[in-house]
């Protein structure tokens, strides 16, 4: 069935259409937030498919896995037919992983390689530091060393190059030695860390470019935050036809601290002198008032080139800038305002229309308890990811051992779960012994319990017995994976269930949780996710197999279920905080989002709160790049469509000592020109404003009668005195004085004012 091209171009403006249909081989689409870059890129992919390009010949790199999912959904709406499922689409890391799984053997990467996530890397480094008795002075802890290594790798500097450069400078530092040992340990456990995934893929494609000889077009979103290695990958992906489209916005580059290279935009023009640049200048996301304010912030950067940006929406409501007595009062003010807005607008805003964007995860500590107090359903996109929960990690680590028992990292983590009378001392002893003898822990313990060792190990007699049990569990699970019954099903859930039963995991989890905690449901959720993942895999939705190219494909004798398990584990390791399970909606009102600003990139919400706008938080006290911090605030502000609230507490309290400390509005917002653009009062809601909200959100407006009704019935006021007053400590304003309306309802959530 021919594809309806009009559907792809429908609703796009002139420059967007030009970009979508451009015949330019190398295209840079540079434009401010909300100008439709992502939408244009998505349409361009659809356009290519409509013109007969084969989906598996197109690589699309997005910033998160969720973004690629959304992109696929949109493409599916435009062209249908399931073509989107065969695109090679995902983050750089997941695309690289797919190539390494299929072709890694060409550069001697064993197919069952595991992925070391940041916590694995830190564990390895901690062990190296201990083993060599390196002093851990300030700034020399495992986390710091890990990020230094990561930065070097992102700049393509191998350990040998690093050591060489230090020698030239007559330096002989411990860091180089740690780096070297770290690489060795990863290799012996058959692990690749996040940076290795990209670097090794680069090696692969340099040596075997045929792996990507089918690629006709490469498209990249959020290009301003790519690093040098990703840039090289882009060139290699595209080597055959040299067709590249990137979209980006230098004003939104916020990952410099992780070695993102803003210079990539310029380098691209040097490498490809025929680069065509298209600018988009209309903003479709935000009200003009929000846009003006955001521009006022970013324009404080005097080194930044001036550029055009025009609002397409009317002026709307001025952003609110508010000072609160304390972080706790700030949190309650936010909630009160959300409830007031919902009541005043006849609930055209759902909770899912609201985001609270924070500079760092810690700020959520003041907000979460209040959300719970007022029973507002929310999800937190910061801090602990679903797959990083302790009870989930154990299961994943067990599975990693099943797939690859030589993964000593994973093995050391689960060998004593549930407790097998192996203290952390004996485990460390085992790891050290294995290291000394040049074997993996798995080989060591297998030989040990068989009595095949010529040397002493730290294993005691009772320990030996439980180790044999452990070994048996792993071997049995491996056999189950291979068994005819299971192998062809491609579903890993039964494997997980059988494993958990063997280790009596439910009992372990429930007896090791704090009172009031309920962790087992998370494990059950993991099993649900595994089933879903495998179903999608079978349907070719999540990750179609890479097409065969002229490069030597991988003759696989693996069972379907083993392949699925490998992919499931890679998926878990590469998941970002955003990729956890969705929170259940209670009543169709949706779930509010609390997210770090970094994780909010590329997204939009009708109502955005940015609390904690004080010096020390943004700009952050640990950052020395003021311009990047300003851009971060700009990214936060430009997520908002209709209403933007900035706030800060004027007094902080130290968590440990309880000392009070004054805090000040950050300089970015204190500038003279900004004040007239903002208000400290609550926005007045009228039928007209409701109409304008609906327009910006592209939603139906509630009927005039309904609006009148809710406005009259509610008569709620912005409680100026309440928000500024210092509440007596320890009281929680459960019922807020909103003209006698009891906002808090103990059961059944907040419904029906
Ligand atoms: P960011 O820099 O934040 O990633 P962006 O440039 O990628 O932003 P999009 O997310 O693609 O912008 O678009 C922002 C909003 O504007 C979306 O809701 C999108 O649907 C809408 N939009 C884009 N182009 C148009 C258009 N031509 N007409 C109407 N709405 C549009
Ligand atoms: Mg975008």
d(CA 548, CA 534): 22
* Phi and psi angles of residue 243, each rounded to the nearest 5 degrees, phi first: -120, 110
Q: Flag whether pLDDT at 586 surpasses 70.
A: no
Confidence of residue 549 (pLDDT cuts 50, 70, 90): confident
Residue bearing tokens 């970009």: 19
Q: Whose CA is nearest to atom 14 of ligand 1?
A: 34
Measured in Å, residue 304 CA sits from the centre of ligand 1 at: 23
Residue 34 assigned to a binding site: yes
Q: 660-662 and 651-653 as β-strands: parallel, antiparallel, unpaired? A: antiparallel
Q: Could you tell me how far CA 217 lies from the centroid of its own chain?
A: 26
Spell out the residues 6+ positions from residue 497 whose beta carbon is closer than 8 angstroms to its own.
527
DSSP summary character for residue 179? H
Residue 32 assigned to a binding site: yes
First to last CA, the chain: 51
d(CA 193, CA 203): 15
Calculate the alpha carbon distances from 683 to 337, 604, 611, 721 in Å. Answer: 10, 20, 17, 16
Question: Which has the higher per-residue pLDDT, 549 or 205?
Answer: 205
Spell out the residues 6+ positions from residue 647 whose beta carbon is closer than 8 angstroms to its own.
320, 321, 322, 323, 324, 330, 333, 334, 609, 610, 611, 612, 613
Is the bond leading into 145 cis (omega within 30 degrees of zero)? no
DSSP summary character for residue 727? P
What is the atom index within ligand 1 of the atom nearest the CA of 602?
A: 4
Closest to 163 in 3D by CA, of 150, 149, 144, 142: 149
DSSP summary character for residue 90? E
Question: Which has the higher per-residue pLDDT, 553 or 699?
Answer: 699
Residue 38, pLDDT score: 97
Calculate the average pLDDT of the chain. Answer: 86
Task: Tokens for 440, please give them.
Answer: 């993996």
| Burial annotation 264-291 (CB, 10 A radius, 16+ → b, else e) | bbeebeeebeebbebebebbbbbbebbb
**Mutation choice for ligand 1 from 36, 74, 252, CB with most ligand atoms inside 8 A:** 36
Q: Whose CA is nearest to atom 16 of ligand 1?
A: 284
Measured in Å, residue 41 CA sits from the centre of ligand 1 at: 11
At 612 the three-state DSSP class reads: coil
Measured in Å, residue 33 CA sits from the centre of ligand 2 at: 7
Residue 289, pLDDT score: 95
Q: What is the dihedral of CA 202, 203, 208, 214, to 10 degrees?
A: -10
Q: Whose CA is nearest to atom 11 of ligand 1?
A: 36
At 548 the three-state DSSP class reads: coil
| Burial annotation 176-208 (CB, 10 A radius, 16+ → b, else e) | bebbebbbebbebbbbbbbbbbbbbbbebbeeb
Residue 172, pLDDT score: 61
Q: What angle do CA 231, 235, 240 make, to 5 degrees?
A: 165
Greatest mean pLDDT range, 251-260, 481-490, 508-517, 586-595? 251-260
Handedness of CA 371, 376, 381, 384 (dihedral sign): positive
d(CA 389, CA 552): 39
Answer left, alpha or beta for residue 22, where phi above 0 means left and psi between -120 and 50 means alpha. Answer: beta
β-bridge partners, 396: none
Residue 211, pLDDT score: 95
Closest to 280 in 3D by CA, of 540, 519, 44, 18: 18
Answer left, alpha or beta for residue 324, where phi above 0 means left and psi between -120 and 50 means alpha. Answer: beta
pLDDT in tens, 71-128: 999 999 999 888 999 999 999 999 999 999 999 999 999 988 999 988 889 889 998 9
pLDDT in tens, 122-149: 889 998 988 888 877 666 788 889 989 9
Confidence of residue 1 (pLDDT cuts 50, 70, 90): low
Task: Tokens for 38, please give them.
Answer: 């992502």
Percent of the chain residues topping a pLDDT of 90: 54
Residue bearing tokens 């797959």: 387
d(CA 90, CA 60): 7
Residue range 205-211: mean pLDDT, rounded: 96
What is the atom index within ligand 1 of the atom nearest the CA of 42?
A: 11
Pocket of ligand 1 (CB under 6 A): 11-13, 16, 31, 33-39, 249, 252, 284-285, 602, 604
d(CA 213, CA 238): 9
d(CA 219, CA 732): 51
Ligand nearest to the CA of 249: 1
What is the atom index within ligand 1 of the atom nearest the CA of 31?
A: 6
Measured in Å, residue 519 CA sits from the centre of ligand 1 at: 39
Measured in Å, residue 548 CA sits from the centre of ligand 2 at: 32
What is the atom index within ligand 1 of the atom nearest the CA of 16?
A: 27
d(CA 614, CA 648): 6
Residue 168 assigned to a binding site: no
Half-sphere exposure (Cβ direction) of 339: Cα atoms closer than 13 Å: 30
Q: Could you tell me how far CA 106 lies from the centroid of its own chain?
A: 31
3 state SS for 232-289? HHHHHHCCCCCCEEEEECHHHCCCHHHCCCCCHHHHHHHHCCCCEEEECCEECCCCHH
Residue bearing tokens 């790049």: 625
Residue 555 assigned to a binding site: no
Residue 583, pLDDT score: 55
Q: Flag whether pLDDT at 715 surpasses 80.
A: no
d(CA 87, CA 49): 10
| Element (DSSP H or E) covering residue 647 | strand 640-649
What is the atom index within ligand 1 of the atom nearest the CA of 222?
A: 4
What is the atom index within ligand 1 of the atom nearest the CA of 284?
A: 16
265, 248 Cβ separation under 8 angstroms: yes
Confidence of residue 484 (pLDDT cuts 50, 70, 90): confident
d(CA 241, CA 215): 7
**Mutation choice for ligand 1 from 285, 312, 597, 601, CB with most ligand atoms inside 8 A:** 285
Closest to 311 in 3D by CA, of 343, 281, 348, 278: 281
Q: Whose CA is nearest to atom 24 of ligand 1?
A: 36
Mean pLDDT is lowest, of 243-257, 570-584, 593-607, for: 570-584
Residue 33 assigned to a binding site: yes
Q: Flag whether pLDDT at 252 surpasses 60.
A: yes
Residue range 44-55: mean pLDDT, rounded: 95
Confidence of residue 740 (pLDDT cuts 50, 70, 90): very low
Measured in Å, residue 265 CA sits from the centre of ligand 1 at: 21
**Mutation choice for ligand 1 from 39, 62, 286, 636, CB with most ligand atoms inside 8 A:** 39
pLDDT in tens, 149-179: 999 999 888 888 888 888 777 666 788 899 9
Residue 720, pLDDT score: 43
Measured in Å, residue 453 CA sits from the centre of ligand 1 at: 65
Residue 37 assigned to a binding site: yes
Measured in Å, residue 37 CA sits from the centre of ligand 1 at: 6
Q: Whose CA is nearest to atom 29 of ligand 1?
A: 284
612, 327 Cβ separation under 8 angstroms: yes
List, in sequence order, the alpha helices (H) in 317-460.
327-344, 364-373, 390-403, 408-414, 424-437, 441-450
Q: 640-649 and 320-324 as β-strands: parallel, antiparallel, unpaired? A: parallel
Q: Whose CA is nearest to atom 4 of ligand 1?
A: 602
What is the atom index within ligand 1 of the atom nearest the CA of 35?
A: 6
């Amino acid at each position: 069935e021919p594809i309806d091209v009009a559907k792809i171009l429908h609703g796009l403006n002139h420059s967007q259409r030009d970009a979508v249909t451009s015949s330019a081989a190398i295209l840079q689409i540079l434009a401010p937030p909300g100008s439709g870059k992502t939408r244009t890129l998505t349409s361009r992919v659809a356009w290519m498919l409509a013109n007969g390009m084969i989906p598996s010949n197109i690589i699309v790199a997005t910033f998160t896995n969720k973004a690629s999912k959304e992109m696929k959904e949109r493409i599916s709406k435009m062209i249908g037919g399931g073509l989107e499922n065969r695109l090679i689409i995902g983050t750089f890391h997941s695309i690289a992983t797919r190539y390494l799984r299929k072709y890694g053997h060409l550069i001697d990467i064993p197919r069952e390689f595991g992925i070391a996530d940041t916590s694995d890397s830190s564990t390895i480094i901690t062990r190296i530091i201990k083993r060599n008795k390196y002093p851990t002075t300030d700034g020399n802890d495992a986390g710091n060393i890990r990020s230094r290594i990561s930065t070097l790798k992102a700049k393509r500097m191998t350990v040998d190059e690093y050591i060489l450069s230090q020698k030239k400078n007559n330096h002989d530092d411990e860091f180089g030695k740690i780096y070297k040992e770290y690489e060795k340990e990863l290799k012996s456990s058959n692990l690749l860390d996040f940076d290795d995934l990209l670097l090794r893929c680069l090696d692969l494609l340099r040596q075997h470019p045929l792996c990507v000889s089918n690629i006709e077009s490469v498209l990249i979103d959020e290009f301003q935050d790519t690093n040098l290695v990703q840039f090289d990958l882009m060139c290699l992906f595209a080597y055959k036809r040299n067709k590249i489209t990137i979209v980006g916005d230098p004003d939104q580059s916020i990952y410099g601290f992780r070695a993102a290279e803003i210079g990539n935009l310029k380098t691209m023009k040097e490498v490809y002198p025929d680069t065509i640049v298209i600018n988009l200048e209309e903003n479709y996301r935000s009200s003009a008032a929000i846009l003006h304010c955001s521009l006022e912030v970013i324009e404080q950067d005097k080194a930044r080139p001036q550029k055009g940006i025009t609002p397409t929406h009317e002026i709307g409501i001025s952003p609110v800038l508010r000072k609160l007595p304390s972080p706790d009062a700030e949190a309650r003010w936010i909630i009160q305002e959300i409830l007031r807005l919902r009541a005043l607008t006849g609930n055209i805003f759902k909770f899912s229309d609201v985001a609270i964007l924070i500079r760092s995860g810690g700020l959520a500590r003041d907000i979460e308890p209040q959300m719970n107090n007022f029973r507002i359903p929310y999800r937190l996109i910061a801090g602990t990811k679903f797959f990083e929960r302790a009870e989930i990690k154990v299961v994943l680590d067990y599975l990693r051992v099943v797939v690859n028992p030589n993964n000593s990292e994973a093995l050391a983590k689960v060998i004593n779960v549930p407790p097998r009378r192996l203290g952390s001392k004996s485990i460390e002893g085992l790891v050290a012994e294995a290291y000394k003898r040049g074997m993996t822990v798995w080989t060591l313990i297998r030989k040990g319990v068989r009595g095949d060792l010529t040397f002493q190990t730290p294993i005691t007699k009772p320990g030996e017995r439980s180790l044999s049990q452990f070994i048996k569990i792993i071997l049995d699970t491996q056999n189950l994976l291979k068994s005819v019954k299971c192998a062809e099903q491609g579903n890993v859930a039964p494997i997980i269930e059988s494993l958990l039963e063997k280790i009596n995991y439910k009992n372990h989890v429930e007896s090791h949780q704090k009172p009031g905690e309920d962790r087992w449901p998370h494990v059950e959720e993991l099993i649900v996710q595994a089933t879903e993942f495998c179903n999608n895999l079978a349907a070719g939705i999540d990750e179609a197999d890479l097409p065969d190219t002229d490069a030597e494909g991988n003759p696989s004798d693996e069972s379907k279920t083993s392949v699925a398990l490998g992919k499931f584990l890679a998926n878990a390791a590469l998941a970002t905080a955003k990729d956890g399970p969705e929170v259940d909606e209670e009543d169709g009102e949706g779930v509010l989002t609390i997210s770090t600003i970094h994780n909010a990139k590329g997204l939009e919400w009708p109502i955005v709160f940015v609390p904690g706008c004080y010096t020390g938080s943004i700009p952050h006290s640990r950052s020395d790049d003021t311009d990047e911090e300003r851009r971060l605030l700009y990214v936060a502000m430009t997520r908002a469509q209709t209403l933007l609230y900035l706030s800060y507490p004027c007094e902080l309290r130290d968590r440990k000592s309880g000392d009070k400390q004054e805090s000040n509005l950050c300089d970015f917002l204190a500038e003279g020109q900004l004040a007239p653009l903002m208000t400290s009062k609550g926005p007045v809601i009228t039928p007209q404003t409701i109409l304008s909200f609906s327009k910006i959100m592209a939603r139906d407006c509630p009927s005039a009668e309904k609006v009148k009704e809710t406005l009259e019935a509610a008569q709620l006021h912005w409680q100026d005195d309440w928000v500024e007053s210092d509440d007596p400590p320890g009281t929680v304003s459960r019922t807020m004085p909103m003209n006698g309306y009891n906002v808090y309802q103990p059961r059944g959530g907040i419904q029906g004012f």
